[in-house]
Amino acid sequence: MYYIGIDVGSANTKAVLINENGAVAAYVIVPSGVGLLSAARRVLDEALARAGVDWDQVAAVVSTGYGREIVPNKTKAVTEITCHGRGAFALFPHTRTVIDIGGQDSKAIALSVTGAVAGFEMNDKCAAGTGRFLEVMARALEVGLDRMGPVALTSERPAVISSTCTVFAETEVVSLLAQGVAPSAIVAGLCNAVADRVHGLVARIGVRAEVTMTGGVSKNTAVVKAMERILGVSANVPEEPLIVGALGAALIARELGLKQAT
Amino acid sequence: MGGPRIPIKTTDTLHKLMFKHYVEAKMAGQSGQKVAWVTSGAPVELLRAAGIIPVYPENHAALCGAQRQGPHYCAVAEERGFSMDLCSYARTDLGCVFAGDSPIGGLPKPDLLLCCNNICGTVTKWYEELARQFGAPLVYIDTPFQHGDVDEHAIAYVHAQIEAAVQTIGEVAGVPFAPERLLETVRLSARATALWREVLEQCAHRPSPMTSFDAFAHMAPIVTLRGAQECIDYYEALLTEIKQRVKDGVAAVLEERYRLGWDNIPIWFKLGALAKRFAQHGACLVIATYTDAWAMQMSLDTPDGVLRELARVYTTVYINCGMRKRLSVLLGMVEKYSLDGIILHSNRSCKAYSLGQYDIARLLQEEHGVPCLIIEGDMNDSRAYAEEPVNNRIDAFMEQLARR
Amino acid sequence: MPEGGGPIQVFESVCEDPYRVAREAAAGGRSVAGYLCTYTPEELFHAAGCFPVRIFGRDKGATYHADAHLPSFACGFLRSVLDMALAGELDFLEVVVFPHTCDTMQNLAEIWKHSVARIPSITITTPVSVGTEPAVRYFSEEIRRARKALEETVGEVSDSLLMKSIALYGAHRERMHRLYEVRRAHPERLSGRQMMATVIASLLMPREEHLPHLDALLAELGGVSGQTGDDRPTVFVVGNTCHNLDYVSMIEDAGCVVVEDDLCSGYRAFAMAARNERDPIDRLARMYLVGTSCPTKHQPGWDTGKDLVEKAQALRAEGVVFLLTKFCEPWGFDYPHLKEAFEGAGLPTLLAAIECNQPPGESFRGRISAFIEMLQTKS
C-alpha cells in the first residue's frame, strides 16, 4: 500500500508518495498556475507514474496548503502547520523548531520532543520576511531570484535595510543604488532583513534546538546563514525544502490508512 | 544662506543636568531614597514633596529613540507578545525592562509607580504591566477627558484621587504628608513652568532665536525636574541666553523665510535630518503643542487649596481636551507666533494625539486659511518611518508656501 | 439542536441585517439611541423611552468615508461605525452615546461632533478607575447630567421609570446567565453560532422583544443536569467585540466547541450584577463600575489573568482563542500576560486577529484549524 501527501500552494503544488514503511517512492513539484485543481491532478498522476504505482494501491491521501480543500478524493485536509511539523521531524528527528519561509508567508512551529505541534506563529499578511520580498527586490536589482543567495555571500559588508515594509524597502534599495552602494552589499542586506523579520516570528514561540528550515527561501544560503547567526544555532536544511509539507501530509495519510486497516 | 548657525551654549548644561538626574536616581538605593516611575503628565509635585526621586520612562524611551535604539528595544517587547501596533514608548521601555539594559544601563527599580492618564489611556496599561513586572504599588490618577468646558465634577473626582494618592505616597516614602512642603514644591513647579513659557515666547520674535527642534531637547528638565530648584536654575540660564540672542538678532534658521508650528510628539530619531531639511527651505519651526504643553499656568492662591489646583492643572492639559480647545490653542499659536503653516505629525504610536488631526488640519485650512502638512511617522520606531515620502511631502509643502 | 423556525430563526434573521429592527423602530416613530460600548447605562435611555441599540459597525467592506477622518492605526470597529454614520447608514439614530472606553473612542466622540452633525451625540464619561467611591460619585454625576440632557429633548425620566427599566434589564440578564449555564453544561444542544446569534440579537432588538423568544429557547433547551456526551475539544474564546457569526462558526467547524466566550459583545455585556441601592442613579453607577471587568478599566490589585484562568479551568476548556480586533491598545497590552497565565496553567492559546472589520478568511481558517489539530493531538 502507498500513501500520498499533496501540498497545494499558491506558487507550487507538490506531491510525495510513500510506501508502508514511510520511505519516499516519488515526489513531484509543479507550478500551481491559476488552475489549482488541474495542478493537483497533474502532480498526483505524475507521482504515481514515476513510482510505477496504480491508484488502487493508494490507501489514503492527505492534502495540505492553501488549496487543500479543492483536492478531490482526499481522506483528509490538514493544515501546513501540522504537516510541516511532521515532515521536518521525520527528516530530522531532533527538530524542536521549524522555520518555514515560503513564497507568500512564513511560519515558525514549535515541536514537542515527540514531534507534536506545541505552538506556532504565522505571518501571512505581510510580504516582508517571505519569498515575495526577495522576488520584488530581485526584480528591482535585476538579479535572478536563485542568484540572490550566492551574490549575497560575496559581500563582506552588507548594507543595512531598515524598512520592515516591502514597499518602503524597495525605495530604500533604489536610494542605496543611487548612492553607489554595491548591489552585492544590498542583496546581502536584503537577505539579512528577511532573516531579521522571520526571527521576530520565531522569538515569539521560543527557539529550541534543533532548528530545521523549510520552504523555498531556505534554498537561499545567505538567508539560512543569517538566520543561524541571529539564532546562535545551526539549522538543518532538507535536500528538497519544498516538499516537507507534502511529506508530512503523506506520513499523516499513512497513519490514517494504517489505523483504518486495524 | 550665509554663515554658520550659532549653537545654544546652555545645551552643555542640559546634558550635565540630565546625566546628574539619572545618576542620582540610580544611586537612590544607596542613599536610602525611594524611586518612582512617573508618567510625564502626572502631579509629580506629590512625589518631590515626599522626597521620592521621580524618573520618567517616557523620557528614557525618547532618549533610546534619539539614539536610534528604538527598534532594538521594541523588538524585545514584541518577542514577548506586545504587538508592533502598540505605543513605541511603551514597547521601548518594556523592552529595556525585559532586556535589563538600555543606552544608560537601564532605569533603577521603582519603589512606586505614579500613573496619570491625562496624556493617554495607554499609560494605564503600560503601568499595569510595570506593576506586574516589579511588584511595586501603582498609584493611579484617572483624569476624565474634557470634551467641552472644564467640568468641575471631573476636577472634584481628580481632587479626591489626589488626596488618596497622598496617603499611599506617604506610606511608601515613610514620611507623613507635609502640606507646607507640597506648597513649596508647587511654588517651584509654577516658577519653572512660567520660565519655560517665557523661553518659548522668545520664539515669537522674528527671526526666532531658537527652533522647536532645540526646544524638544531643552524640554527635558521641565518634564523630569519640574518641582526641583535645578529646573528653575536651568531655565533662568537658558532664558538669559535666548533673550540675548534676540537682542543680538541671532537667528536659529539663517535667512528665516517661513515660520511653522509642529503638532504631536517629535520624531526622535530624525530631529537632525528634519531640522536640516526645514532650514534648507528657510523654514523655522518656532512653536510646538508638545513643548507648550508643559508651560502650564499654576496658581498658588486658589481658595480651594493646592491639591485642587493640581487637579485642575493636570486635568486640563492640551491632550486631555477636545478638538475645539486644541483648535483654539493652535489658532492662538498662529496668531502669537506669526505662523505661515503647521506641520502635523501623524504619530502611529499615539492615538491620543493623532486621532482628530485630519479634521483639525481641514478646519485650519478651510476655515482659517492656515496651510497644514500631515506627515506620517512614529516617535520612536524608525521601522514605521519612510524618509523619502516624508521628505517629498515637506518639499511639496514648502513649494506650496513659496507660491503664496 | 434547534432547527428551523422558533427563537433561533428570529435571532439569526436579526443578525443577518443587524440594524433592521432599529430602522423599523425609527420609521415607526420610536427614538433610537445608538451605543458603542458595554459601559453605557442603557437603562437610562430605555427609561427615557428610547430603544437603545448596540452599534457594531459593519463586518465587511471598505471605509473610504472614515479614512478621511481616521488614520490607518485606528481600530476597524470604530472606523466602520464612523463610516456608516458618514455614509448615512445610521440616520435612524436619534442620538449616539459615547462612553469613555479608550483613546480612540474619546477622539471619535470629538470627530463625530464636528463631522456627523446629523446625529447628535451625548458623552457619558465613564471613569477608567472602577470600584472606587470617587469613581462611583463621578459616574453618578455623569449619569445625572445625561438624564437632564434627555429630559430636555425626549421628556421626563422619573425615578420610577428608571427603576422599571433597571428591573427589565436585570430580568433579561438573569435569563442570559441561565442560558450561559445551560450551554456550559450542554453545548451539544446549542451550537456556538446559535449561541452567538442569541447574544448579538439581544443587543440589536428591544430587550422586551428579545425576552419572550429567549424564554422559549430556554424552555426548549432544558436544564443543566445530565452528561453532555460531546467529546470535541473545548475552546474558550476571549476578546473584544465581534458580531459576525461566521467567526464562531469557523472556529467550531475546525472541530471544536466554543464552550464559552468572554467577549465585550458577549458575556461581558451581561456581567453587571443586580444591586439594591434605593437611588436608581446610584444603583446604575455601581452596577456598571463595581464587579465588572474589562481591559479598558483599571482596578488596583486586579489579577485578570488569574480570574480568566480560573474561569477556563471551571469550564474545563482545553484551549483559549484570543479573538481580537487589531489596533486595540487595551487588549494589546493585556494579551501577553493573559497568554502567559493561560499557558502557565497548561492551556494552549491562539491569537486570531480581526482586521479592518473584515469577515474571516483563509488566513483565519488556517490558523484555527492548525490550533484545533494541535489540541486534538494533545488529547
Q: What is the tens place of the pLDDT at every residue in B94-139?
A: 999 999 999 999 999 999 999 999 999 999 999 999 999 999 999 9
Which positions in chain C touch A79 (Cβ < 8 Å)? 366, 369-370, 373
Sheet strands side by side (includes A2-8): A24-31, A12-19, A2-8, A58-64, A76-77
Could you tell me if residue B5 is inside a domain?
no
List CB contacts of A258: < 8 A, sequence separation 6 or more: none
Residue C1 banded pLDDT, cuts 50, 70, 90 = low
List CB contacts of C81: < 8 A, sequence separation 6 or more: C36, C55, C56, C57, C90, C108
Could you tell me if residue B279 is inside a domain?
yes
Mean pLDDT of A164-173: 83
Could you tell me if residue B1 is inside a domain?
no
Could you tell me if residue B4 is inside a domain?
no
- The single-letter code of the amino acid at C283 is R
- Helices and strands: H and E segment counts in chain C: 15, 8
- What chain B residue is nearest to C330 in terms of C-alpha separation? B125
Dihedral in degrees, nearest 10, Cα atoms C81, C87, C91, C95: 40
Q: Angle CA(C42)–CA(C324)–CA(C346) in degrees, nearest 5?
A: 115
Mean of the per-residue pLDDT values of chain C: 95
ipTM: 0.96
Could you tell me if residue B382 is inside a domain?
yes
Task: Determine whether the interchain pair A171/B79 forms a contact, defined as Cβ–Cβ distance below 8 Å.
Answer: no
Mean pLDDT of A198-224: 91
How distant is the Cα of C283 from the closest Cα of chain A, in angstroms? 45
State residue B95's pLDDT score.
98
Three-state DSSP state, B321: strand
Residue C357 banded pLDDT, cuts 50, 70, 90 = confident
Residue B2 banded pLDDT, cuts 50, 70, 90 = very low
Q: Choose from B69, B80, B83, B388 for mutation: most chain A CBs within 10 A.
A: B388
Alpha carbons B58 and B224: distance in angstroms, whole number:
10
CATH of residue B271's domain is 3.40.50.11900
Task: Determine whether the interchain pair A171/B386 forms a contact, defined as Cβ–Cβ distance below 8 Å.
Answer: yes
Task: Determine whether the interchain pair C355/A80 forms a contact, defined as Cβ–Cβ distance below 8 Å.
Answer: no
pLDDT digits over C64-102, tens only? 899 999 999 999 999 999 999 999 999 999 999 999 999
Residue C186 has pLDDT above 60, yes or no: yes
User: Are residues B89 and B58 in contact, defined by beta-carbon separation less than 8 angstroms?
Assistant: yes
User: Are residues A26 and A50 in contact, defined by beta-carbon separation less than 8 angstroms?
Assistant: yes
Distance between start and end Cα atoms, chain B: 21
Residue C2 banded pLDDT, cuts 50, 70, 90 = low
User: Are residues B269 and B382 in contact, defined by beta-carbon separation less than 8 angstroms?
Assistant: yes
Residue B1 banded pLDDT, cuts 50, 70, 90 = very low
pLDDT digits over C22-68, tens only? 999 999 999 999 999 999 999 999 999 999 999 999 988 888 899 99
Mean of the per-residue pLDDT values of chain B: 95
- What chain B residue is nearest to A167 in terms of C-alpha separation? B386
A97, β-bridge pairs: A110, A211
Query: Domain containing B364: what range?
Result: 11-403
Alpha carbons C218 and C176: distance in angstroms, whole number:
9
Dihedral in degrees, nearest 10, Cα atoms B393, B395, B401, B403: -120
State residue B258's pLDDT score.
98
Which positions in chain C touch B318 (Cβ < 8 Å)? none
Residue B259 has pLDDT above 70, yes or no: yes
Least Cα distance to B215 among B196, B232, B233, B189 occurs for: B196
Could you tell me if residue B371 is inside a domain?
yes
User: Are residues C128 and B124 in contact, defined by beta-carbon separation less than 8 angstroms?
Assistant: yes
State residue A169's pLDDT score.
86
Which positions in chain B touch A198 (Cβ < 8 Å)? none
- What chain A residue is nearest to C353 in terms of C-alpha separation? A125
Residue C379 banded pLDDT, cuts 50, 70, 90 = low
User: For chain B, how many structural domains are there in total?
Assistant: 1
pLDDT digits over B295-313, tens only? 999 998 887 899 999 999 9
pLDDT digits over A129-142, tens only? 888 899 889 998 99
Residue C181 has pLDDT above 90, yes or no: yes
Which positions in chain C touch A82 (Cβ < 8 Å)? 370, 373-374, 377
List CB contacts of C151: < 8 A, sequence separation 6 or more: C48, C157
Could you tell me if residue B364 is inside a domain?
yes
Mean pLDDT of A29-53: 93
Sheet strands side by side (includes B35-38): B53-55, B35-38, B112-116, B138-141
